[in-house]
Amino acid sequence: MDDPIVVDDLERLSFRVDRRAYTDDDVAAQEMARIFDRCWLYVGHESEVPEPGSFVSREVGGRPVILAHGSDGAIRVFANSCTHRGALLCSQPAGQVKSFRCPYHDWTFSNKGELTGVPIPDGYGPGFRKADFGLAQHRSDSYRGFVFVTFDPQQPRTLTEYLAGATEYIDLVADQSETGMEVIQGAQLHGAQANWKLMMENSVDIYHFRALHKRYVSYMQSLGSVPPRRRGGFGRALGLGHGANELPPAAARPLAHWTPMFDPELRPRMEATAARFAEKFGAERAQRITGMNRALMIFPNLMIIDAIALTIRKIDPVGADRMAITSVALAPKDEDPEIRELRKSHYLTFLGPAGFATPDDIEIIESCQRGYRNRTVRYSDLSRGMNKEIPETTDELPAREFWRQWDRLMHGDDGHFEVAHQAELQGAEKE
């Protein structure tokens, strides 16, 4: 990668990305080795495996894994591959088991990963030991219920160190309930014929909102609500590729901020929730928890969107020009049943794959991918907001933070948060 893909010129306030980053098969292969094989990657939420024996299976960084709650109470991440001949142990997306059985030869493993059963064991010699064939366990950790895994045995950072400034925003999500947060059952699985990084960019891009989502804007106005404004709020670079946008709500989240678009009977309940948060956290922090919309990007491929509805979106590459998207809604465990139904409606209406926004987003990033076939225009520009001390949400600071970390890792440099473009980081912090 001698010919630079990311052209970052702070002196000229110019930031460009060569479009071969979205189209080149060799770049896509290098990403798997240099990014997805090295970083901490989101696996799932602890609420998805709430009790011993529960598990979920999914692809993470191109690898099939099992997130399992063992009978000893520990939550582990295993390779979803039998240590005998490699068959998938779990073909179901979730379930409750005491053991995992390989369908090929009936090798059986406990939910702690131990090999417990081998048919016709006398076919093996005296050196065969079950202890040598337990499930491969990946290094994993969790922060406030969000479980991550790394496939790099030399990964020098703990999960908390890796998350850097993103922990502040995860805390704002996790503090929305005194009894914990939970994933609402029912994942949305879909994809797009476009490069995965386009969806990451789109998810922190407020600049497009009123132009692209005209149907939703009109719908919200018909209900007497005001959609997210074009200007205002602020963007932040959180280090190590993570970034966030934060702005006051216009279309309220169903938590503690009532608007006329909600049932009037919900108003006293939401106001009581707001008062309870203010008493616990103080007025300023309570306002950030309950009264602000935000989009948090965790490098490389996780979005936590806390606007309109609280959504966890995992975006996985499937080659240079395809991606897979897993989306779930997150909610307080102790949520009022009527507010829970409202939350689910908001999630499906806007952020679901058949909602107002997501089809627009999918169509436009697929349009970008097709446009890149004309190679006359070499670069995409992400310079918006570089001239500002405090970038707004319509600026592109979070996307630039993503690309700077992408560029460091693709060149074999893990990057240091303390020295990475401190000018933009400090500018955002002044808010």
> Which residues, in sequence order, are bridge partners of residue 247?
293
| 228 band by pLDDT with thresholds 50, 70 and 90 | low
Radius of gyration of the chain (CA): 23
Q: What angle do CA 176, 182, 183 make, to 5 degrees?
A: 125
C-alpha atoms less than 13 angstroms from C-alpha of 268 in its C-beta half-sphere: 1
Question: What is the β-pairing status of strands 75-79 and 181-183?
Answer: unpaired
Q: How far is the C-alpha of 167 from the C-alpha of 164, rounded, in Å?
A: 6
Q: At what angle do helices 196-203 and 397-410 cross, to 10 degrees?
A: 150
| 4 band by pLDDT with thresholds 50, 70 and 90 | very high
Q: How far is the C-alpha of 243 from the C-alpha of 59, rounded, in Å?
A: 24
pLDDT, tens digit (0-9, with 9 covering 90-100), for 333-385? 989 899 899 889 888 888 888 888 888 999 999 999 999 999 999 999 999 99
Q: Going from the N-terminus, what domains does the chain have, and what CATH number goes with each?
A: 41-150 (2.102.10.10), 165-429 (3.90.380.10)
Q: How far is the C-alpha of 143 from the C-alpha of 47, rounded, in Å?
A: 13
CB-based contact 384:395 (threshold 8 Å): yes
411 CB neighbour count, 10 Å cutoff: 14
Comparing 36-50, 86-100, 225-239, 370-384, the range with the smallest average pLDDT is: 225-239
Comparing 132-146, 225-239, 379-393, the range with the smallest average pLDDT is: 225-239
pLDDT, tens digit (0-9, with 9 covering 90-100), for 55-81? 999 999 999 999 999 999 999 999 999
Q: What angle do CA 17, 20, 22 make, to 5 degrees?
A: 85
Q: What is the mean pLDDT of residues 22-30?
A: 97
Q: What angle do CA 392, 5, 415 make, to 5 degrees?
A: 70
Cis peptide before 300 (omega within 30 of 0): yes
* Order of strands, sheet of 115-117, starting from the edge strand that comes earlier in the sequence: 99-101, 108-110, 115-117
Q: Is 192 helix (H, G, I), strand (E, B) or coil?
A: strand
pLDDT at position 420: 41
Q: What is the mean pLDDT of residues 279-287?
A: 92
pLDDT, tens digit (0-9, with 9 covering 90-100), for 104-123? 999 999 999 999 999 999 99
Q: How far is the C-alpha of 304 from the C-alpha of 173, rounded, in Å?
A: 9
Highest mean pLDDT among 18-32, 269-283, 327-341, 348-362: 18-32
Structure tokens at 312: 């966890």
Across the chain, mean pLDDT equals 90
Query: Which of these, 421, 390, 362, lies nearest to 241 by C-alpha position?
Result: 421
Query: Which of these, 227, 226, 232, lies nearest to 245 by C-alpha position?
Result: 232
Residue in the block written with tokens 């627009």: 360
pLDDT at position 292: 85
55 phi and psi angles, rounded to 5 deg: -150, 160
Burial class (CB in 10 A: 0-12, 13-18, 19+), 62: middle
| pTM summary value | 0.92
Q: What is the mean pLDDT of residues 95-99?
A: 95
CB-based contact 338:79 (threshold 8 Å): no
pLDDT, tens digit (0-9, with 9 covering 90-100), for 233-256? 899 999 999 999 998 765 566 777
Percentage of residues in the chain having pLDDT higher than 70: 90
